[in-house]
Each structure stands twice: as structure tokens, then as C-alpha cells.
Amino acid sequence: MNKKKHKTQIFHHTSLPEINIALQNRDTFNFDINNFKGNYNLTMLNFLLTAIYKLAKIKRGEYPLSILYYHHVLQINSLYHPDDITADAFDRQIGFLKKHFNILMLDEAINLLKKNKLPSKALVITFDDGYLDNAEIAAPLLKKHNCPATFFVSTQGVEDGYLWNDAIEQAIAQTTVNQVSSNIMHEALSLTSQPEKLHAHNKLINFLKFLSNDQRAIKITHLLSELEINQTSLSRTMMNNLELKALHQQGFEIAAHTHSHTILTTETNDDAKNELIKNKTKLEKIVGDKIRYLAYPNGLFQRDFNDQHCQIAQELGFKAAFSTNDGGVTRSMNSFKMPRFMPYRKQLPLFALSIAKIAGEHV
């Protein structure tokens, strides 16, 4: 991205003519989201959003596509999922996005992108993993706002009722054992208080997710044994076949996310390919339709997936695949490294401006 020679900050009190002047000077146009405070009106917000996307089109010759990703939508906040959104907040967020963005189905957006016919403020909503709350909480709210979405699903969670990370979360929460021994990750972890349990959970997840499937399975078996947790006591956290099929029948898109939610760079290329084949095949059988899109677990290019995995995905017939690298999507990008992101800002005007800013600046 080119460095700006000057910086024009657009505050909540900036007039529309001033924004026009800033926009016309396309090499110096910028704004500081931190200075966009609570005193705003919808006219100003819409003008700002339009200006940011207009500038992006002037610079790139096309509007960028923003693809957001979520995981859980929760009834109440969870210490184990601090970045996930509650139902009430999601309801407000989707309603707000619906007013200020053009929310499209993923397949429609990709087709328009390739034809250079994307509208301004084009946006796609996606969910990763296949959690039960996606069907029970998120989908009804999406339907309420007549909002499309795509669900990237790991099929081992569909079959078992939970993914490996959910097993760890439940085991840590349920156990009465006082510590995890150093046999698991070369460091003993105390479990004598809620903050210590949360710390242990985060350490274990960050350690185990970068192991191969086989290595991780051995560690988790030992961990559950140490914590005196029987797998049969674990609750279902993922959608099942019927819930996935129902989502598809309601018009939502189901897409691939590997079978076991393993990070592809931890596996051999053959095992990575088998992960994608198994996932795609199982999902197509469940929903009775072609699975066209893939999201890479964890999703950072080079660390979590690489060019070889992009090639494998293309060979298996996927239409495109998605990362979790920040940025807007443009036609010039590799279709198997398309970025998705989630702004951390919670205040709705700042959330909307963050989407536009990330999409416009990181193309």
C-alpha cells in the first residue's frame, strides 16, 4: 500500500463538503476511526462509507468485497469465548449491516466479483466450524433480517457432536482434578481456580492445534484420562446432519472446513488432501448439493496453509478458498487465498467503518 503524504482526519463533526474535498485528493484521503465518536447521524455514516468505497474503486478499478467470519453466537458471554458475540449483539449488528451494506450470498458475490460487477459496500457473512448455536441462534436472526450466510463446517464435529477443542474446554470446566501434568505439554498447569482453568485451557488449545491429528489425538486421550473425564459425558456442541440439511433447505450455503478441523500445514500433503476429500464428500452427501467453497482452519497463509494446499483445493474442484488474513477481496487475487476478517470494534458505527477501512486499505 502506498504511503500517504498527508493525513486528513474525518471527525464526527466534519462537514460533507470537507469530505468531498478530501475524497477528490485521492492520494491524501484518510480518516482516523478513533476520532469518529458517538455523535453521528446516518447521513454522515453512509456518506463516509460511500466515500471509502468510492476511493477504493478509484485506486483499484473495482469495489472490494468484504467477507466477515463468525464462530459462535451465544446466549450469554463466555469466558472461554471472549471474541464471540451474544445473540442480542448479533441481532443489532446484522440489522445495522443490512441497512448500510449490500449483503450477498457468497456464490453470488464471487460471480459478480469476477465480472467486475460488485456493488459498492458488498459484504458476505460466514461462520466457521459448524456450531449448534449457528442453527439455533444465528440462523433465525439471519432469517429475521432476510440476510444470507455461508456456514463452513468440519464434519468430524457433525459425527462426534463436538470438535477436539470443545472436548478440552468441557473437560477443563468439568474436572475436579487440581492440575494438568507436564506429560501433556512439558509444563504443569494448575486448575485450582477459574482464572487458572481459563489459562490452562488457552495454553492447551494453542499448543495442541499445531500438532498433527495423530499426535493431538494421543495427547487428548491422555489429558481426558488425567482429568478423569469420560468422553461419553461431553455435551454436543455441533450441528448434526438434520440441522445442516435444514440450513441448506432454508437457503443458506454449506461449505467445507476440513474433516477434523486440523491445520493443514501440520499434516502431510496426502493427509491434507484426504481431509478435504472426506469433508467435501460427506457434506455433499448430507445436503445433497455440490460443495463449492472451502475455508482453511485457523486460516493464516504460510503458517496454517500454503500454495500446495491451494493447488490441492483447486484440483478437488473447489471454486474458491478463504483465509483469515485481513483485507478486501478483488479480482486480481488468487481465488484460493481470498481474505476474510472480523473487526474487533463493538460500537456499531465504528464496526461499519472498520469493515470499510480494512476492505479498502488491505487490497
User: Which spans in 125-253 are helix H?
Assistant: 132-133, 139-144, 155-160, 164-174, 182-185, 194-208, 213-226, 241-249
Q: Is there a contact between 148 and 104 (Cβ–Cβ < 8 Å)?
A: yes
pTM above 0.85, yes or no: yes
What pLDDT is attached to residue 343?
82
Closest CA to 124 of 300, 309, 339: 339
109, with CB counted inside 10 A (0-12, 13-18, 19+), is buried
Dihedral class, residue 130 (left if φ above 0, else alpha if ψ from -120 to 50, else beta): left
Residues 360, 326: Cα–Cα separation, whole Å: 11
pLDDT tens, per residue, the chain with 363 residues: 343 333 333 333 444 444 444 444 444 344 555 555 544 567 788 888 998 899 889 888 999 999 999 999 999 999 999 999 999 999 999 999 999 999 999 999 999 999 999 999 999 999 999 999 999 999 999 999 999 999 999 999 999 999 999 999 999 999 999 999 999 999 999 999 999 999 999 999 999 999 999 999 999 999 999 999 999 999 999 999 999 999 999 999 999 999 999 999 999 999 999 999 999 999 999 999 999 999 999 999 999 999 999 999 999 999 999 999 999 999 999 999 999 999 877 889 889 989 998 998 655
| For the chain, percent of residues with pLDDT exceeding 70 | 88
pLDDT score at 18: 42
166 burial class (0-12, 13-18, 19+ CB within 10 angstroms)?
buried
C-alpha cell at 197: 482453568
Q: How far apart are the C-alpha atoms of 277 and 308, rounded to whole Å?
A: 15
How much is the pLDDT for 26? 40
pLDDT at 344: 78
pLDDT at 40: 56
